[in-house]
């Protein structure tokens, strides 16, 4: 065989061999990646099952979901407030008032996650030691419902910058879709970043927001989520994806329904707070105007 023919044959053989090898490698990598994803999903499903099974075992829950930095069991006062929020009979006005009270309690839980330092102060009677926050806070609101907690958080953190995200969930797929963000220039300056998100369902919206914040330079360990009502599905996801964040909430509910609403939940928080749910549009206006709608 001529030398050039031999080289050609070797090259062809090489291409075929490399092609097969490449195919095998690609297939193996893809199946590895798929296998990894599958085992992650399986692990998440197992943890979810265990969390739901042990939903009254405070100690077990704290071990399984270390990102949660408050009690899983609401206080009696929180239970009373939650009953009012959940009740369909509560008007928009009542819903807003109760949301404000719950937000106050959430601020207190957030502050328990923040570093403090001791300072000397003078009272009218004597000198003593007192506490102050050690560092500043940045607020992040996920519109619309995150804005419902914002007034109260601004009241307690009057100097905080406020970043905003608009992520809408596709009502058919329940998947989050990015729409808008305006981020404070100091968001990644090392301050604690408190995200207000009253309802955590699948956790998909928060996953998107935290990923975007991290891309902007925010450290995961500086993030604190403040939520009213969280589903185990969402908490389990966030616990897996962002193990260094902290989250506080008023209550962890039972589960999600097939439409990805929290059960027992309270319906759409934004609609109830802003008075835009179908039923409330009719219920909250004067009867003669209601007839014209």
Q: What is the set of active-site residues?
A: 169, 173, 268, 271
CB of 147 to ligand URA, least distance (A): 13
The first and second tokens of residue 280, run together, are: 């409330």
Which of 74/176 has CB closer to ligand URA? Answer: 176
- Cβ neighbours of residue 151 under 8 Å, at least 6 residues apart? 100, 103
- Cβ neighbours of residue 169 under 8 Å, at least 6 residues apart? 175, 176, 177, 204, 205, 260
Which of 220/268 has CB closer to ligand URA? Answer: 268
CB of 84 to ligand URA, least distance (A): 16
Which of 261/274 has CB closer to ligand URA? Answer: 261
The first and second tokens of residue 79, run together, are: 């239970």
CB of 153 to ligand URA, least distance (A): 18
Structural contact between residues 179 and 187, judged by C-beta atoms closer than 8 angstroms? no
C-alpha–C-alpha distance, residues 139 and 184, integer Å: 9
Q: Give 116-120's long-range contacts (Cβ < 8 A, gap of 24+).
A: none
- Residues forming the site for ligand URA (CB under 6 A): 145, 199, 201, 261-262, 265, 268-270
DSSP 74: P
Which of 57/275 has CB closer to ligand URA? Answer: 275
Q: Is 135 helix (H, G, I), strand (E, B) or coil?
A: coil
Structural contact between residues 263 and 255, judged by C-beta atoms closer than 8 angstroms? yes
C-alpha–C-alpha distance, residues 194 and 9, integer Å: 65
CB of 262 to ligand URA, least distance (A): 4
């Amino acid at each position: 065989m001529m030398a050039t023919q031999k080289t050609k044959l070797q090259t062809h053989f090489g291409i075929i061999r490399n092609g097969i090898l490449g195919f095998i490698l690609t297939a193996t990598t893809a199946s590895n990646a798929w296998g990894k994803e599958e085992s992650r999903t399986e692990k998440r499903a197992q943890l979810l099952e265990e969390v739901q099974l042990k939903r009254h075992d405070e100690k077990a829950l704290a071990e399984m979901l270390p990102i949660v930095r408050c009690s899983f069991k609401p206080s009696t006062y929180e239970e009373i407030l939650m009953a009012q929020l959940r009740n369909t009979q509560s008007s928009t006005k009542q819903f807003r008032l109760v949301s404000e009270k719950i937000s106050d309690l959430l601020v207190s839980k957030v502050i328990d996650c923040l570093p403090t330092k001791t300072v000397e102060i003078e009272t009218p009677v004597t000198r003593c030691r007192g506490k102050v926050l050690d560092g500043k806070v940045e607020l992040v609101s996920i519109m619309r419902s995150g804005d419902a907690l914002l007034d109260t958080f601004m009241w307690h953190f009057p100097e905080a910058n406020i970043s905003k995200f608009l992520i809408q969930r596709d009502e058919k797929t329940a998947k989050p879709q990015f729409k808008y963000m305006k981020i404070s220039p100091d968001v990644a300056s090392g301050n604690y970043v408190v995200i207000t998100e009253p309802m955590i369902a699948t956790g998909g919206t928060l996953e998107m927001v935290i990923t975007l914040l991290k891309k902007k330079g925010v450290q995961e360990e500086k993030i604190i989520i403040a939520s009213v009502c969280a589903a185990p599905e969402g908490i389990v996801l966030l616990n897996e994806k962002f193990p260094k964040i902290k989250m506080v909430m008023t209550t962890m509910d039972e589960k999600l329904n097939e439409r990805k609403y929290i059960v027992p939940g309270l319906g759409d928080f934004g609609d109830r707070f802003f008075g835009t749910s179908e039923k409330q549009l009719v219920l909250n206006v004067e009867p003669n105007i209601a007839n014209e709608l």
